[in-house]
Structures are given as structure tokens and as C-alpha cells.
A = this chain, B = another copy of it.
């Protein structure tokens, strides 16, 4: 791709999808300007040291539309999304901040429902919301409510990308696509109904079930940009190849049907309660066994492996015996799905 500045002079929705365009923006603007080694790690959060303690620190803004969807709402999403970012870094999430940007006119009853949902999510994930800020903008200055949460946790195990090696196995904790499809259908812009519910869930307990297995190399939650983007980030970041088998990757019949109707790629759909684990080959079965004991990992499967070839690309072995390159999300599917 040409440099971003020659391609576009303006920010596009695709810059916010977590896929290829987001990566270009991050590389060409943020990393260039901020230029510090912690940020250059390009992780979902930062590992920082304060007084000898290693902490994980992460931030995410949530602009999901609509703010209530089957299986969740912007409040739970904002707490568990950030809990999950900390957990997959190998940290135990402790403290969450809550920054609200509210559009003038939002019903107080809606705000109370969202705040109550955040509080319930925090209780379930065993974290505390300890500090907050509220800004109100005039009508038309926001779309009801946006929430930023940042999170701080204690690093339990450092899981750097460069620990990943050929022959490592790739485990996926369950079926993909439910979150993005449930949000899309909740917009009521489509003439059909489905019972698809977001997979939104806190992953910190599931992570803690496996974190003390020696062979755990890397964990990531495939949110914006989906499984395809996460696998490509791993492959590109480490300059290795990844081969995954289509028949091992669970996609519900309902999600498949919506994808076919709308021309969506299920591998690029956002998830909010799934994780990808890279693990040393000889520990893979043990890790799957442990994950399956947790309700959120019941459908865990080894979906593929790391190879020395392919130069940073991801290859999908299809059901019919062919192979194809599985690229990162390149344009955008839907804006505002988290």
C-alpha cells in the first residue's frame, strides 16, 4: 500500500475497524510521533514498571451502536472489553476507570441502566471501577453515549510475540462472529430476525486456568477485525506463517446464514468473548482440556499451527481440501461494533 498520506487526506471509517487501515494509521502517525519503546510493542496494552512492579495498562473507547444489543450493552462491553485486554496480556485485571461522553438529552434512566450494567460486569469480573469522568456535549455532538475505560492490572506472565515459534499450536476458544452479527441485527435496519446473541464475556477466569502452563506463548482476543486480523497480527509481528483448518473453526449456522446473505466474511467479524492461544505443541492437548472445563472455553479446539514458511502470512485449509490466504480485514465491514 502507498503511504497513508498519499492515499487519503481524511480519516475514514475504515481507519477505526482494527484492520489493515487501522494498522497503517497506527504505524504512520502514532508510532512515528510518539516513538517510545513501550508503545512500539504494538500490543493491545502496555507493560509498564512502577516501583519494581510490572503492571499492564490499557485503554479502549466504546462507541457501539445500538447501546443495547442481544447479550449485552455498552456498559458491560466497556468493562469486559478492557478486562479482556488485560487478561490476554497475561495480567490480572484490578482497576478500571470510566470516562463518559454523553449527548445532551440522554434519558437518565438509560444512563442508570448502563452504569448498573457496568457495576454488575465489574462484580462478575472481580474488578473495581475506581475513578471516572463525565463530559456532556450538545445534541448532535455524540450519539447518545460513548464510554472509555482504561484498566490497570498486575502482570502475572509476560507473553511476548517473539516467544512464538514454528510447530506451536493455535487454539481457539469457541465459535466466531456472534458479537458483530448480534450488533448488526440489533440495528433493525435489516428485514430479518435471528436469535444470535453476542458472545460478550469476561475472559480473565479462562485465562487464569491456563496461564501457569509452561508452554503458553501468547494469548489474544479476536475483537475488531476478527480472527483473521488477530492471526495476521501474530504472523506479521513475528514474521512466521500460520496454517489453520477451516473445519476446526466453529461458526454457527445462524452466523453463516447472515454472512452469506450480507456478503460478510465471518473470519473478519468481531468477537467479544473468545480467545486465541498460541502454545507449545506438546502442551496443546493439556491446554485444550483445561479450557474446556470453563464454560467460556467449552468448544475450544486446536485450529492450526505455526510454520516457518509463508513469510508472515496466514493460510486457511478449506473444507474441500484447497488452501487460500486469509488476509487481515482490509476495508471495513461495519463501523461501531464495539
Contact = CB atoms under 8 A, between A and B. Distances in A.
Interface of A: 4-5, 8-17, 22, 25-26, 29-30, 33-36, 38-39, 43, 45-46, 48, 50-53, 55, 57-63, 94-95, 97-109, 111-112, 115-116, 118-119, 122, 128-138, 140-143, 146, 148, 150, 152-154, 335-336
Contacts of A150: 59, 97, 99, 148, 150
A97 B8 CA distance: 26
A17 B137 CA distance: 10
A43 B133 CA distance: 11
Contacts of A25: 134
Nearest to A95: B48
Of A12, A130, A152, the most chain B CB neighbours within 10 A belong to: A130
B143 A137 contact: yes
Nearest to A145: B11
A152 B39 contact: no
Given A46-B95, A60-B99, A129 B39 contact: yes
Given A152-B50, A154-B51, A57 B11 contact: no
B30 A335 contact: no
A148 to B, nearest CB: 4
A130 B152 CA distance: 13
Nearest to A104: B13
Nearest to A49: B94
A29 to B, nearest CB: 6
Contacts of A111: 11, 29
A109 to B, nearest CB: 7
A112 B11 contact: no
A5 B128 CA distance: 26
Contact of A119 (B33, B109, B118): B33
Given A33-B112, A102-B15, A48 B130 contact: yes
6 contacts: A33-B119, A57-B97, A59-B99, A59-B148, A61-B148, A135-B146
Contact of A336 (B116, B134, B137): B137
A299 to B, nearest CB: 29
A3 to B, nearest CB: 11
Given A16-B102, A36-B128, A148-B99, A9 B134 contact: no
Given A97-B57, A107-B9, A152-B57, A141 B138 contact: no
